[in-house]
Structure 1
């Protein structure tokens, strides 16, 4: 059986595969490139659980021999996890308003019970050990970078300062837009260019 490309979409903190950009990417691929396999796992807000589950998932994909190429798209916290996986396997990744230093904002979420933005009936409570884990993971992921990256960011992001991402991913492909917001306005414009960046002529 002929191998197919795989696009792995990683959502943001307390988000889900039901997020707007994730569904938009999935639907666009189904219509325009049905040969590309789309996968969007539910990612735990607990960093160690997220790390283990994502490593297991991607290691399995890589070792299966079923895919001729694997590309990553990560939004916000999903951008951090995309970097983590891209560095491990030297994969291409598109980072959309990515979190560069997530351990900085995690202390704001300590204490209260957290629920997904999607309204799903789940509850989480972060501890200091989660922050410590994230700091350790950040320390492991410093330049020079092994993956191939495209940074997509909007200066109107009300949650993350895109200048951090611009600086961290210096030397990688950048598209920085004025205005916009953390959700990245007009994401649909980039579906085709994202696929071209990740897979090139293989599709």
Structure 2
């Protein structure tokens, strides 16, 4: 019997932030329907090692059997790592499968999606940090729900679905990387998370 989750972590994607559309919609929904749930959506640093260190420190006191994680794009890669290490439920939104490969071409100065005036550097060593975070194991497939859009213009839907054998996958015929029609899927996300 899976216990309802009392703690929910949301991990945004590359160049994104807690101001992303999906993060804001999730935060509003949790506040409205599950006000007792502890919600945390940190601004992740560009360094993958620093990002995971921040997340580990933030959830150190959380009960693993009562927590869940949602991750989008690169945040989905991080969420897979969190779920594999805690055994918690995970919702993955167009999750990055091989970010070390994909982000190699993004080394250098980047701008933030939600504030083009905000700049950061993606350093060459961050590719190695991503490689070090690749999970040899998998989260239990029954603990994973992935929403994957065939129309994703950034990531290959075939790689995303192949990465999570046995998991519940909602494969969208069209869509885009941002899952712009997230309103149509948020109910399924909330049901899977089973928040207290």
TM-score, normalised on structure 1?
0.87
Partner of residue 198, structure 1:
193
**RMSD after superposition:** 2.0
Alpha-carbon deviation of 1:49?
0.8
Instruction: Identify the residue that residue 101 of structure 1 maps to in structure 2.
Output: 98
Checking the alignment, whether the CA contact within 8 Å between 2:93 and 2:147 is kept in structure 1 is yes
Q: Does 1:185 find its partner at 2:186?
A: no
Deviation at 1:71, TM superposition (A): 0.9
Match of 1:155 in 2: 150
2:167: which partner in 1?
A: 172
Distance 1:77 1:115, change over 3 A: same
Are 2:23 and 1:22 equivalent residues in the alignment?
yes
| Structure-2 change in CA distance of 1:185 and 1:4 (3 Å) | closer
Aligned to 2:78: 81
Task: Show structure 1 runs of 4+ deviating over 4 A.
Answer: none
Deviations 1:67-113 (A, max 9, x none): x71111111011011011111110100000010110011111113x1
Aligned counterpart, 2:69: 72
Q: Report how far residue 114 of structure 1 moved.
A: 1.4
Number of residue equivalences: 192
Are positions 1:145 and 2:139 aligned together?
yes
Structure 1 residue 130, shift from structure 2 partner: 1.1
Structure 2: runs of 5+ lacking an equivalent: none
Corresponding residue SS for 1:105? helix
Per-residue CA distance 1:134-184 (angstroms, 9 max, x = gap): 11211xx13443461111011000011111110010111111011110011
> Which structure shows the higher strand fraction?
2
User: Mean Cα displacement is larger for which, 30-39 or 172-181?
Assistant: 30-39
TM-score, normalised by the number of residues in structure 2: 0.89
Q: Secondary structure at the match of 2:66?
A: strand
Distance in 2 between the 1:32 and 1:145 partners? 27
Question: Which of 126, 129, 144 is the equivalent residue of 1:130?
Answer: 126
Q: Distance in 2 between matches of 1:144 and 1:184?
A: 24
